[in-house]
Chains A and B, each alone.
Chain A
Amino acid sequence: MSATVLTSAEDLQASEQQGAVLLGMEGVAQSFGGLQVLRNVNIDVPQGRIVGLIGPNGSGKTTCFSIISGFLRPNAGRVHFAGDDVTAWSIQQRSRAGLVRTFQTPKVFEHMTVLENLMVGDYKSTHTGILGAMFRTPGAGAELSAMRERAKACAERFGLAKLLSTRAGLLPAGQRRVVELARACIGNPKVLLLDEPSSGLNSEEIETLRHWIVTLNREGLTVFLVSHDMGLMTVCEKVHVLYFGEVIASGSLAEVQADARVCEAYLGV
């Protein structure tokens, strides 16, 4: 690990421009039964950057994402985020801290409208409890209205305004991906983990996706991206290459493409 690990919120602010590490995996190992999926994985994601993770099928990319987002506890090593060791944190704690992921197959809430999907994205920044909701306390009503307004504004921004009352389960793959992205962004995350975001999309939809990744990053969002799509990977400033559970190269896309081990293991040239 070459980059510095942040220790406080002040450090975080001060070093925003310096690309200090916001999210990282240190010495992470994971096995399922006798199968060693990750071995001593060290990955760093600097603040405000777009970082990619590539590797052949079964190399452990999604396992990395599952460990970072809290779906899996690693057998060894630690995950740190914004200066905290979050290895033992729940998925919800990580989410509230600003670490949000999307899924390889877009997981929209199918029986809910696009507006309701976006409103759920605002869940962590709101507080109404069950009793307040049942008795429609003034606070609960005001909070729900505010959630609705924020969701509408978000929909407007992501070009979903005309679909607000459409059931999300009826949307095509590209629009589902945008809904998932908008829903993740409405809660103002610090890091967005995108797992194969271009899978199932046509070239036009991939261009839209690329536009959003770049735009959100320019606005300060750190993005960690897993993809097989080398075209989409060109948005990354740094790429880690995973091969059979080990990071075999890290650097700019051009650098890893020129790496002999990467060429042999993954790119097949």
Chain B
Amino acid sequence: MFPHPRLAIATASVLAWFLLPQVLSLHYLDVLNFAAILAIGGLGVGLLLGQCGIVNLGQAAFYGCGAYVTAYGTTVLGWPALPSLVFGAVISGGLAALIGFPILRLSGFFLALATLAMGSIAGVLFFEWDWLTGGTLGMGGIPKLSLLGFELSTPGRYHYFIWPLVVLLLWLARNLVDSRPGLAMRAMRDAAPAAEVLAVDMHGLKTAMFVICAVLGSVAGSLFAHYVSFVSVQSFTVEKSIMFLLVPVVAGVHSVFGIVIGALFVALVPELLSGLGDMHQVLFGLVLVLVVTVVPGGLTGAFKQFRLIRRGR
């Protein structure tokens, strides 16, 4: 139908990005911006899961770290947004290296449980260290982001800023997956002993990817803090970590650009179902079960399968 389907998808995406703020309500623009934030944090989890075979159930720890550093930096210390964001990413990356170095010796369920424990401990610390985080009262007054003197104070303006950033990060991730380190990651995911025999430093590579995942989580947290201008412990629970994990699972763990579809699904479907009343969370759970059961390769996997069947015909 289209001679260049990728070009058609890219053109349609750019048009949608440009036109959506003109046609969507503020509420749905808000949801789209949250989807972008989910995509950034979920990209880190997706790289770990899809390329390295590591389940990270603690991304909310780094998401929270980024958000609180931005909140503290901009409101208490009076720092500009960019240094706060970078400092949050550095702290998150450093913590990920410190935590990841010992726990990444584990594998499978044990590693997943270790990351879950990390996320839970971070949640408790965010709550207990109220002198730093504001505890349940949270921290407010976080300034809106400004870009070249242009304040991103509305969902529409934020939309024009955050989605190109998502595309840039996806492009960087795609480059990584298609590179020499990317080949090594996928090799250790598929057959770890064979990768070791070919001189792949698995522990070093896993730790580096854990750091990248944490940095992405932290950047997502900082962007969230600027967007909502208020952060509190309720935003950084284990439930949030599971949402980040759902993004690549729904998208299809091996797909990088599919992360956008996963994030849109996780952000939009509960909103669309919310019109059905109190049961909408249960329905969302059912939809998720249906997706992972019917299309275990995720939505992008289903799309690939569909294309193969069509070619077969």
Chain A interface residues toward B at CB < 8 A? 69, 71, 91-92, 95-96, 100-101, 103, 107-112, 116, 119-121, 123-124, 126, 128-130, 132-136, 140, 143-144, 147, 180, 183-184, 187
Q: Contact at B198–A120, with CB atoms within 8 Å?
A: yes
A141 to chain B, nearest CB (A): 9
Chain B 176-219: CB-based contact to A (< 8 A → 1; otherwise 0): 10111111101101110111111111000000100010000000
Check A120 against B181 for contact (C-beta < 8 Å): no
A183 touching B181 in the complex, CB below 8 Å, given contacts A135-B172, A136-B175:
no
State whether A123 and B179 are in contact (beta carbons under 8 Å apart), knowing that A107-B194, A134-B172 are contacts in the complex.
no
Residues of B within 8 A of A135 (CB): 172, 175
Q: Are B182 and A109 in contact (CB under 8 A)?
A: no
Asked if B240 CB lies within 8 Å of chain A CBs, one says: no
A129 and B186 contacting across the interface, CB-CB below 8 Å: no
Extra A-B contacts (7), CB below 8 Å, given A119-B183, A140-B179, A140-B180: A108-B191, A109-B191, A111-B254, A123-B184, A124-B198, A133-B176, A184-B197
Q: Complex Cα distance A187/B187, Å?
A: 16
Task: Give the docked Cα–Cα distance between A140 and B182 (Å).
Answer: 12
Query: Whose C-beta in chain B lies nearest to the C-beta of A140?
Result: B179
Using Cβ atoms and an 8 Å threshold, which residues of chain B touch A112?
A: 183, 186-187, 190
* CB pair B208 A183 closer than 8 Å: no
A71–B193 touching, CB < 8 Å: yes
A-side contacts of B190, CB under 8 Å: 108-112
Known contacts A112-B187, A134-B172, A144-B179: does B199 contact A123 (CB below 8 Å)? yes
Contact of A130 among B189, B198, B199, B208 (CB under 8 A): B208
Complexed CA–CA distance, A124 and B196 (Å):
11
Residues of B within 8 A of A136 (CB): 175
Number of residues of chain B lying within 8 A (CB) of chain A = 28
In the complex the two chains form, is A134's CB within 8 Å of B180's CB?
Answer: no
- How far is B184's CA from A143's CA once the two chains are assembled, in angstroms? 14
Given A110-B191, A120-B187, A130-B212: A91 and B197 interface contact (C-beta under 8 Å): yes
Cα(A183)–Cα(B200), bound, Å: 14
- Docked Cα-Cα span, A130 to B184, in Å, equals 11
Complex alpha-carbon distance, A92 and B187, angstroms: 14
Which of A100, A116, A129, A134 is packed against the most chain B CB atoms within 10 Å? Answer: A134
Query: When chains A and B are docked, how far (Å) is the Cα of A124 from the Cα of B199?
Result: 6
**Contact A109:B186 (CB < 8 A) given known A130-B212, A134-B176:** yes
Which residue of B186, B194, B212, B254 is within 8 Å of A103 (Cβ)? B194
Q: Are B183 and A116 in contact (CB under 8 A)?
A: yes
CA distance A180 to B195 in the complex (A): 11
Q: Which residue of B lies closest to A93 (CB)?
A: B199
Identify the closest chain A residue to B184 (Cβ).
Answer: A123
**Interchain CB contact under 8 A, B180 and A121:** no
Contacts of B186 in A (CB 8 A): 109, 111-112, 116
13 contacts between A and B (CB under 8 A): A100-B198, A103-B194, A107-B193, A111-B189, A116-B183, A123-B198, A130-B176, A130-B212, A133-B176, A134-B172, A134-B175, A140-B180, A144-B178
A52 to B184, CA, bound (A): 31
Give, as a whole number of angstroms, the nearest-CB distance from A73 to chain B: 15
**Given the complex, which residues of B lie within 8 Å of A187, measured CB to CB?**
198-199
